[in-house]
Amino acid sequence: MDKTTLKARKDLTGTVKAKYEKFCRLSNKITDISNAVAILSWDQETQIPKKGNKYRAQQIATLTGISHNMFISDEFHHFKQR
């Protein structure tokens, strides 16, 4: 292989790696939010005072919406197509 081919291959590998790392960061954020929702849901079922249910439900809905929007985003969809 000549130097130009090796450089092109190295550049492509770097690009793929960067895209994979970006996918992992986005996927990890979605997972972190989902895990936080799970903890809030558990707390709502087991320990929250009755007057706190309205606020906890709002928190869960907000985080679930954020996670859903990230999952259906064009950025994340781009990764799922490949």
14, pLDDT greater than 90: no
Helical spans, DSSP H, in 47-73: 53-71
- Note the pTM of the prediction, 2 decimals: 0.75
Residue 20 has what pLDDT? 86
Residue 32 binned pLDDT confidence (cut-offs 50, 70, 90): very high
Residue 40 has what pLDDT? 96
Reduced to 3 states (helix: H, G, I; strand: E, B; else coil), residue 47 is coil
Q: Which two tokens stand for residue 2?
A: 């000549």
Average pLDDT value over all residues in the chain: 86
- Average pLDDT on 54-65 reads 97
* Residues 6+ away with beta carbon under 8 Å from 23: 76, 79
